[in-house]
Amino acid sequence: MDNKLIYACVSVIGSMILGSAAFAQHGPDWPDWAYGQLEPLGPDSRTAPPCPDGSRPIDCAYQGNPVPDDGIKHSLPDTDRTFTRNEAYANFGPADWYPGDHPQMPDIVAHGKESAGVRACALCHYPNGQGKMENGHVAGLTEGYFLQQLEAFAAGNRRSADIRKANTNEMAMIAASLSDAERREIAAYYSSIPLRKMIRVVESDQAPQVRTTTNGLMLPVEGAPPMELGMRVIEVPENPDRTEMSRDPRDTWVTYAPVGSLAAGEALVAGGGGIACGACHGPELRGLGDFPSIVGRTASYTMRQLWDFKQGTRQSAVMAPIVAALSAEDMMYISVYLASLDPGGGGAEIEGVE
């Protein structure tokens, strides 16, 4: 058997075992919302597909069906640039709406590495590193932490606990395909850009009705009445059209959370969960040495990390005992509170909390 075939077999058997185990584990407290899901995992759920060339032991992200370019140029405020939907979504050269918002991108950030199937970092994380709820926020991290994470993805120590979350697998595949020099160049680039404030928390019993895209972006259903929120969080872009059509890197987020989340989260972060998070993440939680900043990220992103630490699919000897003491509800409150805080990189024009 050649290597490709062995990998393909390992991958199929692996996902069968992982599939049934993970299916059995999903208790009623599983935070589906954080993984971009509106329904619990079930027998008909769509799970991560194998990579098209079958050559890697890691599954891939869902590839949307090609959409014909409609030729309609979209625009955004404060820029002369215009892009069609497909230009904004180009895998190996997505839109750069605001070149003045960031230093010159390294080629791999702007274009990826097509020969290795590595899509541009700027596609998912944007040229400015602000990122989205369904991927991650890579501005405002130190070079050291950034490199550690690429290593963890590449080594298989950072996977999603939810087998439906395919783009985390693609992130692992991407990290494994980068040379050391490429990793260092990208880490230096993104760590030079501060994370801007981009989240408005709304405590409420209700949230807009949403639909979710294949990779887990939630968008309001136009004209639909609000829905009961329940014990979960629903996060949507402030300007859904701009984010969906144009991948607007300046768009911000609205985080709908159960009433009382912010106060509960604040108490837990201050030490009510056993240990004060600031002991390692810094007094303002904006990071301390290579302990990462944990504020101003979407609640969906933060919740996934805490839940993945708890399930052990994101391995960290330091965070594991901390999350062991936290329930899913605690983690939700913490994620909402952290999302409401200012990461310190400007963008203060949006109100933090409503």
Considering the complex, state which of residue 55 and residue 316 has its C-beta at the smaller distance from ligand HEC: 316
Q: Shortest distance, CB of residue 123 to ligand HEC, whole angstroms?
A: 5
Asked whether 248 and 217 are in contact (CB, 8 A), the reply is: no
Task: Compute CA 256 distance to the chain's CA centroid, rounded to the nearest angstrom.
Answer: 17
> Computed from CA positions of residues 273, 168, 166, 285, in that sequence, does the dihedral angle turn out positive or negative?
positive
Considering the complex, state which of residue 144 and residue 222 has its C-beta at the smaller distance from ligand HEC: 144
Considering the complex, state which of residue 11 and residue 148 has its C-beta at the smaller distance from ligand HEC: 148
Asked whether 98 and 71 are in contact (CB, 8 A), the reply is: no
Considering the complex, state which of residue 82 and residue 177 has its C-beta at the smaller distance from ligand HEC: 177
Considering the complex, state which of residue 101 and residue 266 has its C-beta at the smaller distance from ligand HEC: 266
Alpha-carbon span 240 to 84, nearest angstrom: 16
Name the token pair of 128: 């400015």
Q: Shortest distance, CB of residue 167 to ligand HEC, whole angstroms?
A: 4
Q: Shortest distance, CB of residue 74 to ligand HEC, whole angstroms?
A: 21
Alpha-carbon span 159 to 172, nearest angstrom: 8
User: What is the binding site for ligand HEC (CB under 6 A)?
Assistant: 61, 108, 118-119, 121, 123-125, 135-136, 138, 141, 146, 148-150, 152, 160, 167-168, 170-171, 174, 178, 186, 269, 273, 275, 277, 279-281, 291-292, 294, 301-302, 304-306, 316, 318-319, 322, 334
Q: Shortest distance, CB of residue 257 to ligand HEC, whole angstroms?
A: 16
Q: Shortest distance, CB of residue 149 to ligand HEC, whole angstroms?
A: 4
Amino acid at 294: I
Alpha-carbon span 65 to 88, nearest angstrom: 16
Considering the complex, state which of residue 75 and residue 192 has its C-beta at the smaller distance from ligand HEC: 192
Q: Shortest distance, CB of residue 67 to ligand HEC, whole angstroms?
A: 17
How many residues are recorded in the chain?
354
Number of other CB atoms surrounding residue 335 within 10 Å: 30
Asked whether 186 and 109 are in contact (CB, 8 A), the reply is: yes
Q: Shortest distance, CB of residue 37 to ligand HEC, whole angstroms?
A: 13
Name the token pair of 105: 């991108």
Number of other CB atoms surrounding residue 306 within 10 Å: 24
Considering the complex, state which of residue 76 and residue 108 has its C-beta at the smaller distance from ligand HEC: 108
Alpha-carbon span 286 to 282, nearest angstrom: 6
